[in-house]
Amino acid sequence: MVEWFAFGGTLYRRERLALDGQRLFPDEAGRQRQFLAPAEINAVVAGLASGCESAAPVSRTDPYAVLPPMPSSPVYRSVCGEVWFHVDAASGAILERLDASRRAYRWLYQALHTLDFPILATRPMLRTALVVILCGCGFVFSLTAVVIGWRRLRLSCSPHGAKRNAG
């Protein structure tokens, strides 16, 4: 698959070779390469916000890591004061813009629903056991609701229950 995209005033041709491989044209010398360089990302992000630090690759184990569309593609983080930009090095797409409220949301909602806290991310067996225990608790609570509903249905359908409800 061949795509064209503009990034930082340059038009790039992106040839997807496989799910996790690509060629990117052109670079400064007209040669092919695989991903955008951090210097190119720095130049574009500097146009979005002021006071930006140099773009740095985001580790897959980072608490704020974003999955790139192409599995082997690096994601770069550029911190501009209180705002963080995550940029896909394969396509130049801004994957995420995080300010203080989005970082808080990540912990208050996403981490609670996925249990990807750093302490659990480093201990996958503990995380799996915790997920199984919590799912089991949810299953038990749903069974109690079924039992209560069944008893109520049985009571309202019985001849004695109909008289009791009418009176």
CA–CA separation, 80 and 53 (whole Å): 6
| Average pLDDT taken over every residue of the chain | 87
Residue 10 binned pLDDT confidence (cut-offs 50, 70, 90):
confident
Residue 4 pairs in a beta bridge with: 13
Average pLDDT over residues 140-154: 92
pLDDT digits (tens, 9 = 90+) for 88-114: 999 999 999 999 999 998 888 888 888
pLDDT at 150 (0 to 100): 92
Maximum Cα interatomic distance, the chain, rounded to a whole number of Å? 91
Which bin fits 45, alpha (ψ -120 to 50), beta or left (φ > 0)?
alpha
Model confidence, pTM: 0.70
pLDDT exceeds 90 at position 84:
yes
pLDDT at 101 (0 to 100): 93
Average pLDDT over residues 124-153: 93
111 and 118 Cβ atoms separated by less than 8 Å: no
Share of the chain above pLDDT 70, in %: 93
Write the CA distances from 81 to 46, 56, 89, 163, integer angstroms: 12, 15, 22, 71
pLDDT at 83 (0 to 100): 94
pLDDT exceeds 60 at position 57:
yes
